[in-house]
Amino acid sequence: MARRAGKPAPGTHAWYDQMGAVGGRLNWLRAAVLGANDGIVSVAGLVIGVAGASASRAALVTAGIAGLSAGAMSMAVGEYVSVSAQRDTERGILDLERRELAELPEEELAELTGLLRKRGLSEATARVAAVELTDHDAFAAHADLELGLDPTERTNPWEAAGASALAFVVGALVPFLAILIAPREVAVPVTVAAVALALAATGVTSARLGRASVPRAVLRNVLGGLLAMGVTYWIGRFFGAQI
């Protein structure tokens, strides 16, 4: 198949940069969708539960703000710790690979040849390709084929933490604003409807990003959110009546 004009050749720096950029954007989008989804469901369950226990608007505002703040901080801290641990692990693996390339070049060339053979190349072709990749950029070739990593693409834990917290807040504002703005007598059904629509939107987005079935993703998202709100609402009703 002919390569389209302007498309970098596999194995070149431009190719690694392009693949890393595309993968990075998709990862950020997926993380944002998941963060928003978490914010929608978490705060919806909280305010619906409080609405089941109390009709006080002050209680709803307090619960909503507390849930939004705690959830955003939890997402930020969790993402920061997770990405930092991943970066440390990847850095250690890449440092080890760099030392092995310096100390055991022939063994690493044989290893790269074996990796290419597993991709379907013949022994002779794999050897030639391994030599060419090694001459071009041995470290990048081993990072990609052996470790599945892009040595030039490292996620910033602070950016990941901020993006996760922001996504959570954006999602959480849907149920929080819905239950506050809607008239008191219809606040719960309006919030449920707003949450269902928001979850359908995140379901569509996540399915398209993952090239999965849209109806299945939407149904799973919406049913999960409705279940969470239903459980917390009746828990709130039960304990509100008891207290």
The pLDDT value recorded for residue 25 is: 55
Can you give the pLDDT at residue 26? Answer: 57
Dist. CA 169–CA 178, nearest whole Å: 14
User: What does each of the 243 residues of the chain score in pLDDT, given as a tens digit?
Assistant: 344 445 554 444 444 444 444 455 556 666 777 888 889 988 988 888 888 776 678 888 888 899 999 999 998 898 889 888 888 888 888 888 888 888 888 888 888 888 888 888 888 888 888 888 888 888 888 878 777 777 777 777 888 888 889 999 999 999 999 988 888 888 888 989 999 999 999 888 878 877 778 888 889 888 988 898 888 888 877 765 454
Cα separations in angstroms, 83 against 71, 135, 233: 18, 32, 35
Give me 5's structure tokens.
């004009």
| Packing angle of the helix pair 214-242, 13-53 (nearest 10 deg) | 30
pLDDT at residue 236, as a whole number: 76
**Residue 55: predicted pLDDT:** 63
Q: DSSP states of 156-220 as a string?
A: -HHHHHHHHHHHHHHHHHHHHHHHHHS-GGGHHHHHHHHHHHHHHHHHHHHHHHHT--HHHHHHH
